[in-house]
Amino acid sequence: MQFETLLLEQKEPGIHLLTINRPQALNALSPQVIAELTGALAALRADPGVRVLLVTGAGEKSFVAGADIAAMSAMSPLEARAFALAALGLLRGFEAAPFPVIALVNGYALGGGCELAMACDWIVAAESAQFGQPEVNLGICPGFGGTQRLPRLVGRAMAMEMCVTGRAVKAPEALRIGLVNHVVPAAGLLDKGLELGRAIAAKGPVAVGIVKHLIQHGQDLDLENALRLEADNFAVLCATADKREGMAAFLEKRKPAFIGC
């Protein structure tokens, strides 16, 4: 696929890197970026060879500095709602992808950038990264899921503080409050992403996708139904070729060769 605002490349077998490439605009999310991200994600989801997706922003200053304010300033209420719904659909697509999605946050992740990072399965941050939901500074509220995903990650009180004050948190604090999983030097950000990607790509891809599904959807169920959901999926996985290969490899003391079915 051809993109004007994105770069998409396969870094290693099964591991793809998606870069939002608008460094002159601090990689802000315009309607065009949202549309191109939606198309790129659809293509990746249709490719059975994808095992891990890494998402980052071009340049050294910004992951995504937010939604494109210049574009939003001219939107009518109906246009703004359509823009938000398109972004919400995109971010739900990241969550529903059958492979893990890891945000590599190399700088500012504010507003829509923080919301994009939170829709990934986890976040690796450079030491220079900053996270925040500063929409109240513009007289609006988060529109891409910030008021809903942030409290699920950091708790109600911290999310309330960040959203109503617009305060940004730096990488060490983001790690402490549970917003990010790892903080690394900026020069090692991609290396850390690839390290995690290799660890995931070596596992059974069907099982990895099922684990992602269970953790996401089990959170919204009561414990009894969540446990039954897990047991049902455990049974389904026991019918796969990857289960047979994984257990045979364990017994034969060799590395498994998973095929994704």
* Tokens encoding 226: 């969540």
pLDDT tier at 212 (50, 70, 90 boundaries)? very high
| Arithmetic mean of pLDDT, 48-62 | 96
Residue 1: pLDDT band by 50, 70, 90 thresholds?
confident
Computed over every residue of the chain, the mean pLDDT equals: 96
What confidence category does residue 231 fall into, taking pLDDT thresholds of 50, 70 and 90? Answer: very high
Query: Catalytic pick from 115, 127, 173, 245?
Result: 115
State mean pLDDT over 51-60.
97
12 given a catalytic annotation = no
Q: CB within 8 A of 103, min separation 6: which ones?
A: 55, 56, 63, 109, 116, 117, 120, 122, 123, 124
Over the stretch 20-53, which tens digit does the pLDDT of each residue have? 999 999 999 999 999 999 999 999 999 999 999 9
Q: What is the pTM of this model?
A: 0.94
| Res 232: pLDDT | 97
Q: Could you say which of 135, 173, 195, 224 is catalytic?
A: 135
pLDDT of the residue at 180: 98
Percent of the chain's residues with pLDDT above 90? 97
User: What domains appear along the chain, each with residue ranges and CATH number?
Assistant: 6-201 (3.90.226.10), 205-251 (1.10.12.10)
5 pLDDT above the threshold of 90: yes
Structure tokens at 244: 């047979």
CA distances from 121 to 95, 173, 181, 226 (A): 7, 19, 10, 19
Residue 10 in 3-state DSSP?
strand
Question: Is there a contact between 98 and 209 (Cβ–Cβ < 8 Å)?
Answer: yes
- pLDDT-derived band at 2 (thresholds 50, 70, 90) equals confident
Residue 135 is among the residues annotated as catalytic for this protein: yes
> Do 94 and 101 form a contact (C-beta atoms < 8 A)?
yes
